[in-house]
Every structure is written in C-alpha cells, then in structure tokens.
Amino acid sequence: MQREPSKAILLHPSDNVATALADLAAGESLTVTLDSVSTHVTLRQDIAFGHKFALCDIAMGQEVCKYGMPIGKALEDVQAGDWVHVHNCRSHRWGFHNDQYGVQA
C-alpha cells in the first residue's frame, strides 16, 4: 500500500506552526505528525506552498515557534488554521530584535 504524500510538515514537536508542502485550500482539513505529536487543523485561509499556518490559537504578543524555537511574535490574535506571515507575525530576524538592539543587530 502506497502512502499519500504529506501536504504539510511539522519541524519540531513543540512548534505552533506547520509549513505547507503544497498549495492548500481554505476549508481543507489535515493532520501533521512528528514523532508522537499529531495535530489536526482545518485551514481558515488558502496557504501557499512553503508558507506557515497556525496549528493552535496564538494570542497577540505570543511567540510563534518553528524549528523548536521562537521565530517571531504574533502581531494580532491568530486562530488555528490561519496563514502566518508578515501581516500577522513580526519576525525576530527583521523585527523585535532590531527594535531592541538597532537595525544592525
């Protein structure tokens, strides 16, 4: 029996976002699994290949975690299944660290 290819990937068991491995449509339900962690979510928006989506509700100001570490903070309340990108997440790489330490940080 051949397994259907995964449509999204969870990179670390503690992540609160997953990454789309194909273009995904709003209303699509999927489960992402890594080791013993499995999360089911119904997408609230279209998610383009390579983009992140929330696996659970993320409150404004809460850290967005990918790779098992914080990559940014939510700029607004994000619901499970929402697209997570620059419109609702400020990256540590280009955002909060620059605010605290200056543009050259």
Is residue 15 assigned to a domain?
yes
Identify the CATH number of the domain in which residue 67 sits.
2.30.130.110
Residue pLDDT, tens place only, 25-69: 999 999 999 999 999 999 999 999 999 999 999 999 999 999 999
How many domains does the chain fold into? 1
Domain range holding 33? 8-101
Is residue 32 assigned to a domain?
yes
Is residue 88 assigned to a domain?
yes
Is residue 76 assigned to a domain?
yes
pTM: 0.85
Is residue 1 assigned to a domain?
no
Return the sign of the alpha-carbon dihedral for residues 36, 52, 25, 78.
positive
Please, what is the Cα angle at 52 between 10 and 37, to 5 degrees? 20
Is residue 74 assigned to a domain?
yes
